[in-house]
Amino acid sequence: MAVNLPPPDPATLLPVPGVDLGVAMAGVRKANRKDLLVMRLAPGTAVAGVFTQNRFCAAPVVLAKKHLKNEVQALVVNTGNANAGTGDEGMRRAMQVCDALASHLGCAPEEILPFSTGVIMEQLPAERIVAALPHALLHQDDWASAAEAIMTTDTVPKAYSRKVRLSRGTAVVTGIAKGAGMIKPDMATMLGFIATDAQVPSRALQALLERVAERSFNCVTVDGDTSTNDSLILAATGRGPTASGRRDLLKLEVAIGEVARSLAQAIVRDGEGATKFITVAVEHGRDEAECKRVAYAIAHSPLVKTAFFASDPNLGRILAAIGNSGVRGLDTGKVDLYIDTVRVAHQGGRDPAYREEQGVAAMKKPEFTVRAVLHRGKASSTVWTCDLSFDYVKINAEYRT
């Protein structure tokens, strides 16, 4: 059901020197599916991370944030169980996984970052994960397998690569992500991992990741529900060229940003029940924050999203959503609204020249842009979202069965 999202071609996914991937079937929730990923990092790798703002953050998120301060040796990721809302016992079990992996690798458990995704408020079957670790460590898997091993309700694995020429050589950037529901990332999405072989100082890496997250994962929404487990990790192994100087860092940021935006958009294209991929652009606002607020008001309205699903240009719903966005002093009499290039509303009311067939034609496409022009400033913001279909309800009504 994913919108214009072919599965990644493994041949296009570039290995990242300094990153070893291993995948296993631990049977966390279902038998015979890849559900465990171990990502080993070469010594000296710089690691940056951004995490969910949900106050009920999961046990592994609490540990990963803490362990990020140490020299990270490996990441361990399971799907099938989020280990969130699990109290002290959840912390104990997340630590049990770190302990087991650390003893295999001969490092401290505090040098392991754990990640979990799946159902909330059920205890993690840590012993099954521990039992499957040797298999993951003995195998050398590729990024396509790694992307598969972290899927939940995703229908397509998500992985992208870029090459970027720096002053001292060419670096690679490869990333994977998962997530299809409970998607309105706040800092990051539910599990994204990006690696580069470039050498980047830790502090620069963290700042770069925060800027990238702000313009990629923090600009997508499926259902407005920020997950308990959102984590985005960026690792720079330093096995490739050094990013030296502002220009190199900027080029690297562009490449990492492209991978991150492709991953973030892939999550929306594969959003639960999605049949349309919609870009919501809000322009000529006073500042970026108010533009984003209006964009999210549109992208979160269930009435707007069901109209998208039906290809029904019931566009008054978009005006109503803009009116509800809570932007102070918004003059609705100045607002223009476009679907792709068709102006449907002018100065807050229906454009007299607009004919409904135009709206239907634009909205029938699997991808289109909703553009709201506020005419009160120079700022703009863009958010990507999907429609609300029968299948969203079906998937979430039947999620655990």
Residues 228-257: x where in contact with a second copy by CB under 8 A, - otherwise, as a string? x-----------------------------
How many residues form the binding site for a second copy (CB under 8 A)?
Answer: 65
365 binds a second copy (CB under 8 A): no
Single residue of 348, 361, 369, 379 touching a second copy by CB under 8 A: 348
Q: Which of 52, 86, 174, 189 is catalytic?
A: 189
Minimum CB–partner distance for residue 331 and a second copy (Å): 8
Q: Rounded to whole angstroms, how far apart are CA atoms 181 and 172?
A: 30
- Is 145 or 227 the residue whose CB approaches a second copy more closely? 227
Q: Rounded to whole angstroms, how far apart are CA atoms 91 and 83?
A: 8
Q: In 3-state terms, the chain is what percent helix, strand and coil (to 5)?
A: 35, 25, 40
The residues, any chain, with a CB within 8 Å of residue 315's CB and separated by 6 or more, are 307, 337, 339, 344, 345, 359
| Tokens encoding 367 | 């991808």
Minimum CB–partner distance for residue 85 and a second copy (Å): 4
Minimum CB–partner distance for residue 282 and a second copy (Å): 15
- Considering only the stretches 83-91, 134-142, 157-165, 237-245, report the one whose residues sit in contact with a second copy under the rule CB under 8 A: 83-91
332 binds a second copy (CB under 8 A): yes
DSSP string, 262-325: HHHHHHHHT-TT---EEEEEEEEESSHHHHHHHHHHHHH-HHHHHHHHTT---THHHHHHHHTS
122 binds a second copy (CB under 8 A): yes
Q: State the virtual CA torsion across 155, 22, 16, 176 in degrees, nearest 10.
A: 20
Burial state string for 253-281 with b = 16 or more CB within 10 A and e = fewer than 16: bebbbbbbbbbbbbbbbbbbbbbbbbbbb
Count of beta carbons in the 10 Å neighbourhood of residue 9: 9
399 binds a second copy (CB under 8 A): yes
Minimum CB–partner distance for residue 386 and a second copy (Å): 12
120 binds a second copy (CB under 8 A): yes
- Considering only the stretches 63-71, 79-87, 141-149, 277-285, report the one whose residues sit in contact with a second copy under the rule CB under 8 A: 79-87
Minimum CB–partner distance for residue 142 and a second copy (Å): 33
| Residue 189 annotated in active site | yes
Q: Rounded to whole angstroms, how far apart are CA atoms 192 and 27?
A: 22
- Is 12 or 123 the residue whose CB approaches a second copy more closely? 123
- Considering only the stretches 54-62, 163-171, 198-206, 210-218, report the one whose residues sit in contact with a second copy under the rule CB under 8 A: 54-62
Minimum CB–partner distance for residue 179 and a second copy (Å): 13
182 binds a second copy (CB under 8 A): yes
Helices 316-323/302-309 angle, 10° precision: 160
In order of 197, 250, 252, 312, 339, the CA distances from 365 in angstroms are 39, 35, 34, 12, 11
- Considering only the stretches 128-136, 161-169, 348-356, 372-380, report the one whose residues sit in contact with a second copy under the rule CB under 8 A: 348-356
315 binds a second copy (CB under 8 A): yes
Which 8-state DSSP code applies to residue 149? Answer: T
| Max Cα distance, the chain (Å) | 72
357 binds a second copy (CB under 8 A): no
| Tokens encoding 233 | 């990790």
Minimum CB–partner distance for residue 314 and a second copy (Å): 6
Q: Rounded to whole angstroms, how far apart are CA atoms 247 and 259?
A: 19
Q: How many residues does the chain have?
A: 401
| Residues in 95-114 that interact with a second copy by CB under 8 A | none
Q: Are 266 and 177 in contact (CB under 8 A)?
A: yes
- Considering only the stretches 11-19, 154-162, 262-270, 298-306, report the one whose residues sit in contact with a second copy under the rule CB under 8 A: 298-306
- Is 114 or 238 the residue whose CB approaches a second copy more closely? 114
C-alpha triplet 133, 139, 143: angle, nearest 5°: 100
- Considering only the stretches 127-135, 160-168, 259-267, 345-353, report the one whose residues sit in contact with a second copy under the rule CB under 8 A: 345-353
Residues lying near a second copy in the complex (CB under 8 A): 54-57, 82, 84-90, 119-123, 181-182, 223-228, 300-303, 306-307, 309-310, 312, 314-317, 319-324, 327, 330, 332-333, 345, 347-350, 388-390, 392-394, 396-401
Active site residues: 189
